[in-house]
A and B are shown apart, each in its own frame.
Chain A
Amino acid sequence: MTKLSILFVDDEPNVLHGLRLMLRSKRKEWSMSFVGGGEQALAAMEEKAYDVVVADMRMPGMDGVALLEEVRDRWPCALRIILSGHSEYKDILQSIRPAHQFLTKPCTPEDLSGAIDRANWLQAAGLNEGLRRVVTSIDSLPSLPDVYFELREELSLETPSMHRVGEIISRDLGVSASLLKLVNSSFFGLPVRVSSPAQAVNLLGMDTVSYLVVTLRLFSAFDRPERLAGLRSSLWDHSFATAGLARVIAHLEHADQSVSGDCFIAGLVHDVGRLIVAAHLKKEHEQIMERLQAGEDLLKAEQAVLGTTHAEVGAYLLALWSLPERVVEAVHNHHVPSRSKDSGFTPLTATHVANVLEQTPIPQEGDPDVSNPEMGLDMEYLHRIHLDQRLPVWRCVCMEKKIEAEEGDVEG
């Protein structure tokens, strides 16, 4: 394995020196460079492409945000990390777009190594160069226009309801993913693991959410509504429903709060890769849609066009954004869970099963017994983690939930 090359940028020489000494033990895995400002960092990047850039936020001259923006545009493959001593919300929020991850000073060596080592994972993810460029340069995800405008409208009220805002955001995987990127960063130092977008809104507070949406325009409406054709139900509605089912399954397995939260999130964002393709890879998206119409299987079509599937692409972005590893793992393997090393219930289990059950039609009365109840499910995986016996229970409860939801829709 080649050494990761990392560039540290900080205007405080003592900080650089401290990092250099502390990370000396990593010298066998990493090749590190240290520079004192934005301009020098760009000069260093020109000489040699770095895998990771760790920058301070506020520096005289070119500051961290400007530097990372430049890096995003010129060397999109580099993992961009902010390491800042600032505790000002607005300052850090400025960097939410160009930075993949935020770390706050003082930062433990473990956190720092963990963040940097994500780069290893990313390199191993097996995306081709072109795809990596596209995904690493993404700084925000588009949302459904109506969801987006509903959100803007709610926020423009004199007293927006936190509950409503959380609920609106939960329906949109793009906004949810962007928000989760933020709240899971160490900057907020949140004492609890954020388990749902609604909770994220609660923890961030209306002011911050409002600032993100209205001022920073972190989320934007999908600017090509025509590309949404056919995606709306198969992507947004499906994601939201899957998230709900994944949580139901987690409850059935008596998973603790944090695991069931991750199940919900993983369910919500498991198809984020499809959103990326639709929003950022126009040509590929069209080709895939053509193949789908020709009756080809989604995964095969993606494999043929992209050389990989939406699961990998989505996981790549979520890994960049430092979402919890369990979530990244769940998204990455949600079609082929047996790839994982799981030996028990994980968010992957819930996501995989929920994803399949959500697409399974509700059995109608008088129907003959479902001919192939295991269709689409990775029975080998379930068997390995000793949960194949639980499947009937999950199916039963999930179908009930689906019927409830449908009835709700009809009534609504």
Chain B
Amino acid sequence: MNKNIANWFWPPWFIFAGLLAGVALALLDAAVRSYFYWELFLYELRHPIPDEFFKRLAMVAFCLALGFFVQRIMNSRRVLAEELEEANEKLEERIEERTRELVRKSEDLATFRQAMNMSEDAIFLLDGLQERLVDVNDAACRHFGYNREELFALSPREFVTEEGYPAAQKVFEDVVSGRVDVGRIDVPHIRKDGTVFPMEMHFNSMTRRGRLLVIAVGRDVSERRAYQRRLEEERELLETLLNGLKAAFLILDRNTGAIEEMNAVAEELMGFSLEKIKGLPCDQIFRMLEVGPRHISSCPEGEKEPAPYEEGQLTRLDGKVTPVSKSVFPVRWGGRDCWAQVFFDISERQALERQLSVAQKMESIGQLAAGIAHEINTPTQYVGDLVRFLQDACTDMREMIRKLEERMAKGGAGEEFVEFYQEQAEAFDLDFLDEETPKALSMAQEGVERITRIVQAMKKFSHPGAEEKRAVDINAALDNTATVAKNEWKYVAEMTFDLDPDLPPVPCLPGDMNQVFLNLLVNGAHAIGEKVKNSHEKGMLKISSRVDGDWAEVRIGDSGTGIPEENRHKIFDPFFTTKEVGKGTGQGLSIAYNIVDKHGGTISFESEEGVGTTFIIRLPLHPPDMENSEEAS
């Protein structure tokens, strides 16, 4: 109430205005009177007249009262307007609030609709009792090829093939009756155009405003089916490929080493079926197969990275030995880190390699054959000549003896006989025969020895059938190879040896190692021949051997042309050759490299153009694969 009264008079503009107007009126009155009656005024000022004073006072009071009145009226209007505005605002606020709520609700509904329509799955809302559609989403229309109106006109049973309907019917009823919470059918459905497609349908029931509704969510599984089929095909293809390639693979768990998976080829190779050994640790299985001198280590050991490639043998329990190569690489399998191991049966390849190496050896022997023939033909020539001479000498001597005997029979003696003897001795050139016959004999013998030596060297060189490593006297092998190849170098070079007599036997394949030495020697001789050709000079070939810690080192040096800088990186490449066509196949150094590599050794070279090249072969004195057999022997 106070507030209202205050409101009525506040702000008091009109009151002030009334007061002012009253005072002004009074002053005006006084002013008018004094203008006309100045003396009167002054008089009156000194002698106030009460009437006049009251009159003026009343004027002021009247104006003030009028001010109050107007003030009150004005203020009450303002207060009313304010109240009205306030009420109005409140009303507007409520209206807004209400509107927002409505909008929100309708948005929710739209979102829901949209969500429903956005679903890739077909959604049907069915009346549980009447088997009638209540609502569908766009996906349903899309999947079945109808528009909404058409769908609503159909009975649900028209969506399913005749064969599929009983099953669908049963599940639907189960859901409606509450026997199951969620029903699922996977039957072929029919599109508007009559095509049939696989759809997996889930049924769920719910009650809304007293109505039993069934929500059916259908998913077109044709893509998934196709994807599955593709996966299966890929798997089949992989399987066929691996089987066709005769690749045996198995997958091992990286942590436990358990065998997870293997294919038929692997089963055949190992002689176990997957069923029997699935889940068993790898080493437990392979320990049975890793027998024999060149077995392969088939299981990765703990954390150690397995060698990515290995060759060796697997021996099946029934005793069948298969030479195999093994590759290991990491894979993911069933969400775990695993090792994939792929084995190849390399028996055919090994057989081919063996044939090839024999062929290569035959080829190098063939190359040598001409030279060796020369080395044999030369002594044969002079041994034949000498024997012919000895034959003649023998004939002559017997003839002379016969003549002397004749003479003796005639009873010749004394000086006359001596004279006859001297005569004959001169005629038959006895002094010459006497001097030359023993020389000829020893020379012939030497010739035969020369032939023997080269034939034996040849035999030692070729080493038929040596397929296992054995301890080889490298110095003897070097000497022997130099003998065999003598005809290749003797016209262009002098040979010097610097062989370490304390070099222990080196475990290696003697035939292969001879081939390495031969290839390097012949190359050296050719390099020298290239340099000294037409100059009638000879170069130097130097062969040395020594022990260097656990290694045997062989150096074969020549004073030939040297290897040009640009060729140095490719001299060990197969088929690389600088020789003219027909003189080299470019295989020599490549073969040498492979052989030394196979022995766990190294081959390198030092070369200076125009000065010569030295090849350095280092072979391990104790190669790991020989340890066992050394112990055994």
Contact = CB atoms under 8 A, between A and B. Distances in A.
Contacts of A109: 385, 388
Contact of B382 (A12, A62, A91): A12
B314 to A, nearest CB: 48
B443 A61 contact: no
A88 B389 CA distance: 29
B157 interface: no
Contacts of A60: 490-492, 536, 538
B540 to A, nearest CB: 14
Contacts of A22: 384-386, 388-389, 392
Contact of A85 (B374, B392, B436, B536): B374
Interface string A33-45: 0000001000000
Contact of B436 (A21, A61, A105): A21
Contact of B389 (A24, A62, A108): A24
Contacts of A108: 384
Contacts of B378: 12, 14-15, 85, 105
B379 A14 contact: yes
A106 interface: yes
B269 interface: no
Secondary structure call for the B interface: helix
Contact of A86 (B374, B384, B392, B536): B374
5 smallest CB-CB distances across A and B, nearest first, come from: A18-B382, A18-B385, A85-B377, A21-B389, A22-B385
B155 interface: no
Contacts, number: 81
Chain A interface: which size bin? 20 to 34
Interface residues of B, number: 29
Given A18-B385, A61-B536, A85-B377, 18 more contacts: A12-B378, A14-B443, A18-B383, A18-B384, A22-B384, A22-B385, A24-B392, A58-B374, A58-B491, A60-B491, A60-B538, A85-B376, A85-B381, A87-B370, A87-B373, A87-B377, A91-B370, A105-B378
B380 A21 contact: no
A104 interface: yes
Contacts of B370: 86-88, 91
B510 interface: no
A107 interface: yes
Contacts of B379: 14
A61 B375 CA distance: 18
Given A12-B382, A60-B491, A62-B536, A25 B377 contact: no
Interface of B: 369-370, 373-386, 388-389, 392, 436, 440, 443, 446-447, 490-492, 536, 538
B536 A25 contact: no
B193 to A, nearest CB: 66
11 contacts: A14-B443, A15-B381, A17-B443, A18-B381, A18-B443, A21-B436, A22-B389, A85-B376, A87-B369, A105-B377, A105-B381
A15 B369 CA distance: 21
A393 interface: no
Interface string A45-86: 000000000000011111000000000000000000000011
Q: Which of A19, A21, A86, A107 has the most CB of B within 10 A?
A: A21
B538 A19 contact: no
Nearest to A109: B388
A186 to B, nearest CB: 12
A107 B491 contact: no
Contacts of A17: 382, 386, 443
B392 A25 contact: yes
Contacts of A86: 370, 373-374, 377
A35 to B, nearest CB: 15
A373 B369 CA distance: 60
Nearest to B390: A21
Q: Which of B378, B446, B491, B538 has the most CB of A within 10 A?
A: B378
A59 B375 CA distance: 13
Contacts of B386: 17-18, 21-22
Contacts of B374: 58, 85-87
Contacts of A19: 382, 385
B440 A21 contact: yes
A22 B386 CA distance: 6
Nearest to A85: B377
A12 B487 CA distance: 13
A384 B392 CA distance: 42
A62 B535 CA distance: 9
B20 to A, nearest CB: 139
Nearest to A24: B389
Interface in A87-143: 87-88, 91, 104-109
A14 B392 CA distance: 18
A192 B312 CA distance: 54
A88 B368 CA distance: 10
A108 B370 CA distance: 21
A12 B386 CA distance: 14
A12 B378 CA distance: 8
Nearest to B377: A85
A26 to B, nearest CB: 11
A12 B490 CA distance: 12
A118 to B, nearest CB: 20
Contacts of B375: 85
A232 to B, nearest CB: 38
A376 B256 CA distance: 109
Interface string A3-25: 00000000010110111011011
A105 B378 CA distance: 6
A185 B453 CA distance: 30
